[in-house]
Structure 1
Amino acid sequence: MVTAPGDALAPRRGIGLVGGLSANLLNMIGIGPFITIPLALAAMGGPQALLGWLLGAVLCLFDGFVWAELGSTLPRSGGPFHYLREAFGPSKLGRLFGFLYLWQTLLIGPMSIASGTVGLAQYATYLVPSLTGWGIAALAAGVCLLNTGLLWRDVRSIQRLSITVSVIVIGACLWIILSGALHFNAARAFDFPANAFSPTHGFWMGLGAATLIGVYDYGGYNNVCMLGGEVRDAQRTIPRAVLLSIPIVAALYIGLNLAILGVLPWREAMQSKAVVAEFMQALYGPIGGITVAILILIASWGSALVVLLGYSRVPYAAAVEGEFFAPFARLHKKGGFPAISLLFMGIASAVACLVSLDNLIAVLIVIQTLFQYTAQCFAVVMLRRRNPVAQPGQFRMPLYPLPVIVTLAGWLYIVATGKPVHILAGIVMMLLGTGLFLLLSKRRASWPFER
C-alpha cells in the first residue's frame, strides 16, 4: 500500500555517516574495475593506462567538492534536481534545468543500474561458461527485479545490508591487492611499450577514453546526495561521506591495477574477460579464481542495489515539486519509501539490460556530463553569489573557485575525446528534453509562455 505525501510528509532520516559512506562505497566498488581494467589497457595500449585512473581520481575529487557543497547546502532527496532548480531560479530557468535532470535520470538511471547487472551477468560466465546471449540479458534483468523487491522496505534495514556487503567487498579488494603485492614483479608491471608517453593525438584520445572508464568506475561518490532527505545531520554527513569515499576507492583501484599488472603480462590481461578471476587463479589455482569470482558477483549485486536506491528518489523528488506525474510522489505507508518511483526504476533498468555494456558506459558518462555535471559547476557558483556567507554547519569547498574550474575543464575534456556517435546521442537527448519541456510549459502557460 502507498500513501500520498500529505499522509507521510517526508522520508525518514535513518542514514548516518557509516550508512552514507557505505552507500557510496558499495556504489563505487561494483563490477566496474573488475571488467574495465582490460578496456583501459586497450584504450592506451599498455600499463600507462594507470594515468587514466589517476586523472579520473583527481577529477572526481574536485567534482566531489562540488557535490559536497551542493549536498550540504540543499540536503534533500533527489539531490541534483533541487540543486539545479534553486541555482537557476525555481520559477524560470531552474525549471528547465530541473526538468532536464529529471529527463536525464529517466534515461541514464536505468542505464547505470543495468550496466552493473549486465557486468555481473558477463562475469558470471567465468563460473557458468554456457551462459551466453539472451541468458546473460535475462540474468541481468532478473537481478534488477530482485533488487527492486529487496528495496521494498524501510531504508534503515537497507543501511544495515549495505554496510555488511561493503565490508565483504572491501575485504575482497584488500585480499586481491595483498596477493598481488606478495607476487609483484615490477618489470612486468611497468613494461611500457615504445613511445608510451609521446604526446601524440592518439595518446590524448586514449587518455580521454581511459579517464572516462576511470570516472565510470569511481562513480557513486555522490550517491548519498540522492538520499539527502533520509540522512541524519545531513549538512555534515553528506560532505564527509562524499570526500572520504573518493580517496578510499582510488587507493583500492590503483592497488588492484598494480596487483594485476605485476602478475599478469598486460598484453594477456588486455584480452581477458574475467581478469581478476584469472589473476587469482594464476596465484591460487581454480579455487582462488572461483572464490574471487563469487565475491565480485556479490560486489556487483550490492552496487546495483544501492544505485537503484539512489536513482529511485529522483522521480519522487520531481513529483513532490509538481514537475512529474503525481503518483510518483507517493510514499509507502509502512516503509516510508517512494514506492511508485522505485517500481518504475526497477522495471526500466531490467529493460535496459538489452543494451551492450560498452555502449551503456559511454553513453551514460557523456549524457551525464552534458546534462548535469557541467551545469552543477555553474550551480555552485550561482548559489555562492546568492548566499556569500555560509550557514552554520554548512560545508564550503577549499580553494574556491579552483575545484570548480578543474572539474569543468575535466568534464569538457572527456566529452571532447568521446566517440562522435555518443556525443551526438547526448546532444539529441538534451534537445528532445528541452523540446518536451517547452511543449509542457506551453500547455500549462508557464515560463517561458506566461500570459
Structure 2
Amino acid sequence: MHNEPPKLERKISLLQATAINMTDMVGIGPFVVLATVVKIMNGPWFLYAWIAGALLSFIDAMIWSQLGATYPLAGGSYNFLKEGYGPKWGRLMSFLFVWQTMIQAPLVIASAAIGFAQYTGYIFPLNAIQSKLVSGGVVLLIIVLLYRKIEAIGRISVLLWMGVLVVMVWIIGSGISHGHFLEPVKNINNGLKVDLAFTAALGFASVKTVYSYLGYYNVCHLGGEIINPVKNIPRSMFISIAGIAVLYLLMNISVASVLPLDQIRKSDFVVSEFVNHLSGKYAANVVTLLILWVAFASVFSATLGYSRIPYAAALDGSFFKIFAKLHPTKHFPYISLLFLGGIAFAFSLTFKLHEVISAILAMRILVQFIGQGAGLLLLVKRKGKQHFAWRMPLYPVPVVLAMLMWAFVFFSTGKEMILGGLIVTALGVVAYFLKSKAA
C-alpha cells in the first residue's frame, strides 16, 4: 500500500485567519509612517489619509471576498487572475503576478525587518552595520519559526496577535487618560482647503497609509488551509479591516492629543517618544519592545502567506516545478519559503525603509489590484453572478471604485516608482513569452 503524496490541510479557524490578517496589517507600518503622513499632509487633517486607506481596503476587500470564497486555494491572486482572464490571457496575468511576487514579496518582508531594526535603535543605538545585522537576523528567525506544521503556525499567530492588541490598547489608553483625546478630532478641519494641493498631498500620504493596511487579503493566499472558506475568508477580511481601521485612527488621535504636530513630523520613534512624554523612559522602552513584537509578528504573517504563491503556480505547471514540493512530514511548501526568505534576507541588508514602501505599491497595483478588479468584471460577464459563492452588494460599483482609487494611489507613488513598476511588468511579459516558446 503506497502512501498518498502530502497535501495542504484545512486547519486554520476564523479566529486564526483574522489573527494572521491583523498581524500582517499592523506590523511596523503605522509606527514608522505616522510621522511621514503628518509631514506630507502638514496639518491636523492628516487623519483623512488614514480614513482614505481604510475606505480603499474595505472596497477592495469585496473583490477579494467574491474571488476568495469561490476559489479557496493556495496562492490567492494567482488563481483569481487565471480564472478571471480565461484560458488565453489568464496564464499571462497569473504568470505576471508570480513574477512580481518573487520581487515584491521579499520587499514586503524586508520592509518590516528594516522597520524592526529602526525601532530597535530607540533602546540600543545601532550603527549602519549593526542595523543590517538586526534586520537580516529577523528574516532568518522567521524562516526557522515557519518551518513547521500549519496548525502550530495558527497558534503562534494568535499569540503574536495578542501582542499587537496590547500595544494598541496601551497607546490609545494613554491618550485617553491624558485628558485631551478629542482635540485632534475637533481640529481636523482647521485651515483645511479642499484644492489641488490637498488632493495631491492626500494621494502621497495615502501611499503610506495604504501600505499600513496591506495584508487584509492574506487569508486568500492561504485559501487551501482555511476551515469553511466560503464564510471565513470574507468574514476574516472585513473583521480585520474594521478592527485595524478603528485602532489606527484611535492611535493617531491619541498621539496627536499629546505631542505637537511639529514634534511628530520630525520623530523617528514617535510612539516611543509619546509614551516617554507621559510615563517616562522605562515605560517607553517597554512599549518599544512591544512594537518590535508587533513588527516581528507582521514579518511572520506576511512570509507565511507569500510562501504559498510560487507553490500554487508550480503545482499548476506555470512555474518552476521545484516550488511545488511540500515538506514530506510537515506538509508545507518549504522550497518556496526558503527561496523568498533568502531574497528577503538579501534585501534587508541592502535597502532603506523609505525606498521600499512606494516600490512595494507601484509594483503590485497594476497586476494584482487593478488587474484583479478587471479580471472579476470579465469573469462575471462570462459565468454570471450565480457562479460565485459570495457576492458583493451593489456590483459592479465597488469594483469600479476600487480600480479608480488604486489608479490614483499608483500615480501618487511618483515617476521613478511608476517607471519601475512598468519595467518589472514589461520584463515579466517578455519572460512569459520566452518561457512559452521554450515549452
Q: TM-score, normalised by structure 2?
A: 0.96
Which of these residues, 7, 20, 23, is aligned with residue 20 of structure 2? Answer: 23
Look up the match of 2:5.
7
Report the Cα distance in structure 1 between the residues aligned to 2:188 and 2:324, rounded to whole angstroms.
Answer: 55
Compute the RMSD of aligned alpha carbons: 1.7
2:98 touches 2:310 (CA, 8 Å); kept in 1?
yes
1:383 counterpart SS class? helix
1:78 aligned to which of 57, 75, 79: 75
Structure 1, unmatched stretches of 5+, are 445-451
Equivalences for residues 8-407 of structure 1 within 5 A: 8=6, 10-89=7-86, 91-129=87-125, 131-185=126-180, 189=184, 196-353=191-348, 354-390=350-386, 394-407=389-402
Q: Distance in 2 between matches of 1:137 and 1:61?
A: 35
Amino acid at match of 1:225: C
Distance 1:204 1:83 in 2: 32
Cα distance in 1 for partners of 2:158, 2:189 equals 45
Give how far 1:202 is off: 2.5
Post-superposition Cα deviations, 1:402-432, rounded to whole Å, max 9, x if no partner, equal 1111101110111122210011100111111
Amino acid at match of 1:304: V
Unaligned runs of 5+ in 2: none
The equivalent residue for 1:442 is 437
Q: Is the contact made by 1:188 and 1:265 (CA closer than 8 Å) also made in structure 2?
A: no
Structure 2 distance, partners of 1:175, 1:152, is: 32
Counterpart residue type for residue 105 of structure 2: G
- Does the C-alpha gap of structure 1 residues 169 and 383 become closer, same or farther in structure 2, counting only changes over 3 Å? same
Distance 1:341 1:260, change over 3 A: same
Does the CA-based 8 Å contact 2:181-2:253 persist in structure 1?
no
After superposing the two structures, state which structure 1 stretch, 217-226 or 171-180, moved more. Answer: 171-180
Greater displacement, 429-438 / 202-211: 202-211
Is contact 2:29–2:211 with CA below 8 Å preserved after alignment?
yes
Give the counterpart letter for 1:206 in structure 2. A
Q: CA deviation at 1:100?
A: 0.3
SS of residue in 2 equivalent to 1:242: helix
Whether contact under 8 Å (2:44, 2:190) holds in the other structure is: no
Aligned to 1:239, what secondary structure does the other structure show? helix
Q: Give the match's secondary structure for 1:270.
A: helix
**CA–CA distance in structure 2, aligned partners of residues 423 and 6 of structure 1:** 47
CA contact (8 A) 2:314 2:324 kept: yes
- The code of the aligned residue for 1:66 comes to I
Distance in 2 separating the partners of 1:428 and 1:6 = 43
- 2:92 maps to amino acid: L
Question: One-letter code of the match for 1:109?
Answer: A
**1:279-336 residue CA offsets vs partner (Å, 9 max, x unmatched):** 0111110121011101000000011001000000011011001111111100001110
The answer to whether the 8 A contact 1:79-1:225 is kept is: yes
Shift of 1:382: 2.0
AA aligned opposite 1:259: S
Q: How far off its partner does 1:26 sit?
A: 0.6
Q: Which has more helix, going by share of residues?
A: 2
Higher mean C-alpha displacement, 418-427 vs 246-255 = 418-427
Instruction: Confirm or deny: 8 A CA contact 1:116 1:303 kept in the other structure.
Output: yes
Q: State how far apart, in whole Å, the 1-side matches of 2:188 and 2:163 are.
A: 37
1:331, 1:338 within 8 Å by CA — same for their partners in 2?
Answer: yes
Give, in angstroms, the shift of residue 185 of structure 1: 2.6
- Conserved 8 A contact 2:182-2:253: no
Using the TM superposition, give the Cα deviation of residue 189 of structure 1 relative to its aligned residue in structure 2, in angstroms.
Answer: 2.9
Query: Is the Cα–Cα contact under 8 Å of residues 189 and 263 in structure 1 kept in the other structure?
Result: no
Q: Does the alignment pair 1:420 with 2:418? A: no
Secondary structure in 2 matching 1:18: helix
Letter in 1 for 2:307: S
Question: Is residue 44–residue 189 contact of structure 2 (8 Å, CA) maintained in 1?
Answer: no
Query: Per-residue deviation at 1:186?
Result: 6.0
Q: Is the 8 A contact 2:272 2:285 kept in 1?
A: yes
Deviation at 1:201, TM superposition (A): 3.1
Query: 1:383: Cα distance to partner?
Result: 2.1
Match of 1:449 in 2: none
1:316–1:330 Cα contact (<8 Å) kept: yes
* SS of residue paired to 1:92: helix
SS of structure 1 residue aligned to 2:259: coil
Pairwise CA distance, 1:12: 1.2
